[in-house]
Structure 1
């Protein structure tokens, strides 16, 4: 049994930081100690930013992006191409594609991939919302920008089946995205090349 090295408040901070992706217990302790040392410079502003995010951040009811407005700023931007919709697994993928700046279009966030082993079926994802958006009209092309994993490709094929009968061109990312790769870990140049050389599914 490990000894408690700090008060319960600090221990709680460490435990919560350890739940952040990329931070394990050791990294969480270092981050907590750094925040405490820089209490006025970092901890206080971070606390205020977290409270404000908790109050103001919303999930876009149209595309699934996170923003402080609903619909989000991407969905309400009139300068974006309306006829093309990029479908991604997660908000992190949407942000990665936006950083690449290859296309000025709209998005649709699925919220994950089909994974029977994990108990994730079609009803757990935002696939019905995608089909509804296409059925409304105005969408000429769907770009399936899902990860090149078994789950990603299974999800892509399921979406293609669901879109059958609707007049929409379905394409996927091409060169540049390695098999087994995840969008959030790719550089902007690779993502831009993949979008520009997309092919029919």
Structure 2
């Protein structure tokens, strides 16, 4: 199972950040953290925080083990660049490029777990196809007289058999004929294409 995290608008040039990130691909998470602590670069602290954020996502959201995680992919892209000016000799001006970086990381399990948390949640739900809104309300009230659908999900079918029921619901009893959809009143293909005036 893959877990993603990203660090955007890091105020350092991509070349300097890549010098730190290139040595972390395919390395265990614990070993990568130890390697960063012994590296003397300015981009170490933001990258270390990014790895800790990805590990926290894996532990809290997906219930994975830290010992079973490694860095599958880490890449550094260039972010927006700010252009400034500085004074030089003889009244000239030189440009300053303040570059930024976007860092993306994907961590994955060494040995895939048998069942993820999302698959367990889907297995707990009971799915039933209903034909109308009244059936859905009755199905929701079956569970101990509660009106909510805590452990049950309801899906509405879109079969051709239900087209008559949907079309009948559009025509209200109190509406006059002049308020109905005028394109449905005209018969034949000529009445739908060639119209004397716009509806």
TM-score with structure 1 setting the length:
0.19
User: Which structure would you say has the larger Rg?
Assistant: 2
Point out the structure with the larger strand share.
Answer: 2
If asked which structure has higher relative contact order (CA below 8 Å, sep 6+), I would say 2
